[in-house]
Amino acid sequence: LRQRVAELERAQQPAKEPVPLAKTSAAPAAPSDAPAVFPARTEEVVTCPRCGRRQKGNRASCYACGLPFRYEQE
């Protein structure tokens, strides 16, 4: 019982701050206001590269963060 109580107390302690991942790309990051480029409009679900929200790939911009979407075939 004492061991279990100790485990539960450790689990309630605040988590350590996550360590950010190092960028693997040598290219500079695109500005956050640059439009996301997709091959073509689609009824399939796409993921916004800025905020990660999933939505249909036929929108002009992300419904959550407002990032503009651009389509290569237009």
Q: Has residue 65 got a pLDDT over 70?
A: yes
**Domain ranges within the chain, ordered by starting residue:** 31-74
Residue at 35: amino acid letter: P
Mean pLDDT of 41-65: 92
CA dihedral sign of residues 47, 53, 57, 62 = negative
Per-residue pLDDT, 37: 92
The predicted model scores a pTM of 0.54
Pull the structure tokens for residue 38.
């997709």
Question: Do residues 48 and 55 make contact, with C-beta atoms less than 8 angstroms apart?
Answer: yes
Could you read off the pLDDT of 8-50 as tens digits, one per residue? 887 776 656 555 555 555 544 545 678 999 999 999 999 999 9
- 62 vs 51: CA distance, rounded Å: 9
